[in-house]
Structure 1
Amino acid sequence: MERSVLQPRFKNAPHFKDFWQKGNGKLLIEFSGAEVSFKNFEQFATYYYHTDEIGDQVVKDIYLKKKFREASKEIEQYIRNGVSESDPVPESVKKLFSSIQRKPDWLNEDLLKSGAELCMRSGLDALISLRDYCLIGGYDYAYLNKPLIVTEALKKGAVKRLSETLDFWVNVTRYNALEIHAKGYEFAIKTRLIHSYARLSIKKHYKNWDSENWGEPINSWDMMATYIGFSLVFLHSLHKLGNSFSNEEELGIFHLWKYVGYLLGIPEDLLPDNKKQATEYFYLWTSIQPPSDKDSVLLAHSLLNESLENPILKFNFQRKNLRYLHICCTWFLLDHEVCKRLSIPDVSNKNVFPIAKRFTNFIYNSLVGRKARIKAGNKKHLKVLEDYLRITAASNFH
């Protein structure tokens, strides 16, 4: 059966108009200077049915022919030692590594460093932004979340999911993390193959996948939106929390995630260089996404309740307080309409903590030098990651 041509089907829907005319979408346009329109929609829409064929073939040739642990060890050796044309490995493996072992001509090491430094010096604000704006805000896009639902991510639990996200994010945003054979490079390649493995599993086992509406599982356009979350949305969140950044740091964030996206197999046409491009790309993608559904609400509440389930904090009152603070930040960072759709609890004095955070950021950034903030932020990130890995029993990527 021939697939119908994809249209910006929700461009006249209340949730789309409210976001871009009144909510965070409007703020993103002001923040970025974007000029949004639908003139390039068809160019991007084809990627809704596009996937990483190279990664998929590697999974077919390695993971689906061996035990998972054995296949993972084999891939680890390829990542850490490299692959040459003369190596006795499947052609798909040679094809994958011939592309990623050669740095693209556009790669700028100075911008990668600036992007990593902004991530590190943002300290706990970075983790607040990832959790209370990027992740939970992404749950409002109902179709984007379908792979999470059908692979039963809710059963795995929010603590484990958050640990995996943090493990990935920290390891790709440190100094020299993306050097070939380095740890962040390894995380990116493993994540790429995890996506392929999940996609092939969905296509094989989930017969009710609605590709007409949902696109291909973990398709390239959805991947673009996810990584715009790590760049544009992350940057906007830091801005909302009272952080300032230089033009080079700003460009560095986009450059860092452009390279991570490249390693993950996202087509280069979908990887924005700056906040203006990112906002214009994001605008087009949101026009095909309906608002929250019941699955979205379940995912959001699973993340909110992670603080209650997480044993890092010893006492119940500490966990309840942490949950309250995350709820406050979610209301502050997200549109109120989005919070209502996700059924985020409406708590008292919800602006007190975020506004106090803005004020303390202003003082801290004024009094403490940039290098000291980078060092302190990196230390905080590594401590939080260590705590999560301790309770989720070792690294998520082994």
Structure 2
Amino acid sequence: MTQTFAENPLAADHYTRDEWPSKRGSREAFVERFGEERAQRFTQAYWAMDPVADALYTSGNKSKDIMPNLREALARGEADENTLPEVAALINDMNAALDGVDWERLERGQRAALSIPVLAQNLSLGPGALIHTYSAPSIADILVNTGELTEGAVHRLAYTTNWIYSVYLKDGLKPGNVSYIHTGMVRAMHAHVRRVQTKLGLDYSEWGAPISEFDMFRTWFDFTYIAFTYCRNLGYRMSLEEEQDLFYLWRVVGLMLGIPGDLLEPETDIDASQETIDAIHFVDGEPNEASHALVEALFSGFRTNVKALLPFSDESIDDWQYAATRIMHGDEVADIYNVPHAASRPFTELGIPMVQERYDLLRANPEALEKEVAQNHQMLLDALTQETSYMGQDEGIKMNDGAYRPGA
């Protein structure tokens, strides 16, 4: 279901929902390259939000009442007579996303992800995918405005990977299970931040609605196209079937998060998604001050998190993450963020064909693959925590004073 600002009680009434946001570039040039149909769908997505989740904060109930009720319903996997109506609507919407799911195929997608070492995925999700996330000013402004990313980068990075890795746990997405719960709470967090942003009375004509349908769709690619393209760059290239199973898994997760199916359905693998990624990048705008602040905080947070796992010096960890960042993103993007040139990069690049060879041999040996998948699954299970900001929210989500607000 799609809803515009004009239909949403969180929104100001004066926005025109058929307008192309001023900082999204030339609509005419976009149409010339990507077509009128995609331009119309993107325009709709710039302003649409998530009415089911947003209703959690427009019912008149307080967060301290909503959140325990939501956690209880998510843990059951269904609403009951004690479930608040707005919570029941969210639970029912998430369960509808699971109607007809091919659980065997979904598990194959999880196993494909778990065939890649956890540290390599940490690189592809941290200095890889999150840098891509932060490069979009429409997203970066809001993230800096929450204060969590620059003031608590270690925790925020851990919380992001915590939720993503819950998605790869066997049976985790079934109603009442671990990833189902975490995904529901992440969706509620999006709604809460959106509520706070819309109450600020800011001018969103430059980029569109805060945490819009478009922003959520773009971020979905960070966990699919972006993360696993960067895994390719590091020497972990999957087969087409494995990619398609992985995209299927994330398509189900995207529906559970409230992203409309018509956006997700065509995106079946890395190559099939290329035109959509190109269209998204066409309207992204250039990284801004908030983007740079987030990337700087990301490197600091990644360093701290790796030190908790491996007995390496700061200099060694930095050289490793800077080399990987330049390999994943290329020098043009890395130069935008002044990523240092790493001494280990030439040696890392020389080793990539060997990494790919070992990865191919692993997947050709069922016994070895099963052992690797089981080991990585246990690592994620051991690392999972309930102590995240998105699992709370009972007292709300505090925002900064708006130094990086969109349109400010």
Asked if these proteins are the same fold (TM beyond 0.5), I'd say yes
Provide the TM-score with structure 2 as the length reference. Answer: 0.80
1:234 to 218, 223, 227: 227
User: After the TM superposition, which residues 100-249 of structure 1 pair with which residues of structure 2 at under 5 Å, given as runs?
Assistant: 100-105=94-99, 107-123=101-117, 124-204=119-199, 206-207=200-201, 209-249=202-242
* Structure 1: distance between partners of 2:151 and 2:252: 29
Q: CA 1:345/1:292 → structure 2, altered by over 3 Å: closer, same or farther? A: same
Amino acid in the other structure paired with 1:139: Y
Q: Which residue of 2 aligns with 1:28?
A: none
1:6 to 2, 10, 20: 20
Deviation at 1:227, TM superposition (A): 0.7
Q: Which residue of 2 aligns with 1:25?
A: none
User: After the TM superposition, which residues 1-398 of structure 1 pair with which residues of structure 2 at under 5 Å, given as runs?
Assistant: 1-3=14-16, 5-6=19-20, 37-39=34-36, 40-61=38-59, 65-67=62-64, 71-84=66-79, 87-105=81-99, 107-123=101-117, 124-204=119-199, 206-207=200-201, 209-272=202-265, 273-275=267-269, 276-310=271-305, 312=308, 318-366=313-361, 369-377=365-373, 379-380=375-376, 382-383=378-379, 386=382, 394-396=387-389, 397-398=391-392
SS of residue paired to 2:20: coil
Amino acid in the other structure paired with 2:258: G
* Structure 1: distance between partners of 2:247 and 2:34: 22
Deviation at 1:48, TM superposition (A): 0.8
Q: CA 1:313/1:319 → structure 2, altered by over 3 Å: closer, same or farther? A: farther
Conserved? CA contact 2:47–2:208, under 8 Å: yes
1:50-69 CA-partner distances (Å, limit 9, x unpaired): 1011101123448x5252xx
Deviation at 1:112, TM superposition (A): 0.7
Conserved? CA contact 1:166–1:385, under 8 Å: no
Conserved? CA contact 2:138–2:210, under 8 Å: no
Conserved? CA contact 1:144–1:289, under 8 Å: no
Provide the TM-score with structure 1 as the length reference. Answer: 0.82
Q: CA 1:160/1:2 → structure 2, altered by over 3 Å: closer, same or farther? A: closer
Conserved? CA contact 1:121–1:378, under 8 Å: no
1:336-370 CA-partner distances (Å, limit 9, x unpaired): 22111122122334232244244234235325734
* Structure 2: distance between partners of 1:252 and 1:314: 32
SS of residue paired to 1:217: coil
1:120-170 CA-partner distances (Å, limit 9, x unpaired): 111132222112221112222222212101111234422101110111011
Conserved? CA contact 1:9–1:287, under 8 Å: no
Q: CA 1:395/1:377 → structure 2, altered by over 3 Å: closer, same or farther? A: farther
Q: CA 1:251/1:313 → structure 2, altered by over 3 Å: closer, same or farther? A: closer
Larger CA deviation: 179-188 vs 235-244: 235-244
Conserved? CA contact 2:169–2:381, under 8 Å: no
1:180-222 CA-partner distances (Å, limit 9, x unpaired): 1111111111100011011101222x34x33111221111111
Deviation at 1:378, TM superposition (A): 5.1
1:230-281 CA-partner distances (Å, limit 9, x unpaired): 1111221222222232332111111111111111111111214413443222
Q: CA 1:375/1:190 → structure 2, altered by over 3 Å: closer, same or farther? A: farther
Deviation at 1:377, TM superposition (A): 4.8
Deviation at 1:80, TM superposition (A): 1.6
1:24-70 CA-partner distances (Å, limit 9, x unpaired): xxxxxxxxxxxx723422122211111011101123448x5252xx5
Amino acid in the other structure paired with 1:244: R
Count of residues in Structure 1 that have an aligned counterpart in Structure 2: 368
Instruction: In structure 1, list runs of 5 or more residues that go unmatched.
Output: 18-35
1:97-125 CA-partner distances (Å, limit 9, x unpaired): 22222455552222211110111111132
Amino acid in the other structure paired with 1:50: A
Q: Provide the identity percentage.
A: 21
Instruction: In structure 2, list runs of 5 or more residues that go unmatched.
Output: 1-13, 393-408
Deviation at 1:73, TM superposition (A): 2.4
